[in-house]
Amino acid sequence: QVQLVESGGGLVQAGGSLRLSCAASGSISSINRMAWYRQAPGNVRELVAAIPSGGSPNYADSVKGRFTISRDSAKNTVSLIMNSLKSEDTAVYYCNARSRRGIYDYEYWGQGTQVTVSS
């Protein structure tokens, strides 16, 4: 099992920056992809950024060039650095991990952290 805990959310002015962090624990060796999702009220949960193990990160078009996902294997953390924030970025942000053990695939979620961008 994998446990994910997000931190770093808060209120920020439009055009500002914010850094989200996700700490992973448990069976971290089985994780083959980590990602950040977000969900605004009334909207579906959408992928923001993902970084597979040994692969290149990928981003949603809406955040490309503004957000950066990074992974620190030594600290078992994944971060989302958000720059040039817009009001449309306001959402609950969730850390996500995918893992494989044997023939089974698993998906884990953090509790979410609120990001509010004021305009």
Residue 71: which of 63, 80, 83 has the closest Cα? 80
Summarised one tens digit per residue, pLDDT across range 65-84 is 999 999 987 878 999 999 99
Summarised one tens digit per residue, pLDDT across range 18-40 is 999 999 999 888 899 999 999 99
| CA atoms of 102 and 27, how far apart (whole Å) | 13
Mean pLDDT of the chain: 95
Diameter over CA atoms, the chain: 48
